[in-house]
């Protein structure tokens, strides 16, 4: 696909993810996974707040899952920061 001269360089670059630097790919991946883990923590907190409507969930397991997700969020945040450093 050819980009015309009036299109910005950023838009042309978005179309060629294969040509991105490894740090840029890592940053994109870290951002997406980080966001999904935030969403998962939100869902787990809602489930924990409504245990009376969800009797099949074990409160102790929910607390462990929330802690685990905070740990993975920290790991993905570190990966994203390292990717920013290497850009």
Decide if pLDDT at 1 tops 60. no
pLDDT bin (cut points 50, 70, 90) of residue 80 is very high
Q: 44-79: per-residue pLDDT in tens?
A: 999 999 999 988 989 999 999 999 999 999 999 999
Which of 86, 82, 77, 69 lies closest to 32 in space, CA to CA? Answer: 77
**Mean of all residue pLDDT scores within the chain:** 87
Q: What is the pLDDT of residue 54?
A: 87
Mapped onto helix, strand or coil, the DSSP state of residue 46 is helix
Is residue 40 pLDDT above 80, yes or no? Answer: yes
- Residue boundaries of the structural domains of the chain: 20-86
Residue 82 in this model has a pLDDT that exceeds 90: yes
Evaluated on CA atoms 66, 70, 71, 76, the torsion sign reads positive
CA distance 1 to 36: 31
Please tell me the predicted confidence (pLDDT) of residue 62.
Answer: 93
Nearest C-alpha neighbor of 38 from the set 76, 81, 86, 84: 76
């Amino acid at each position: 696909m050819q980009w015309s001269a009036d299109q910005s360089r950023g838009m042309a670059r978005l179309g060629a993810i294969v040509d991105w630097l490894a740090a840029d790919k890592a940053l994109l991946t870290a951002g997406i996974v980080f966001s999904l883990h935030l969403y998962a923590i939100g869902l787990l907190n809602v489930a924990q707040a409504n245990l009376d409507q969800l009797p099949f969930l074990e409160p102790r397991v929910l607390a462990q899952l929330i802690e685990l997700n905070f740990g993975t969020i920290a790991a993905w945040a570190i990966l994203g920061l390292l990717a920013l450093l290497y850009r």
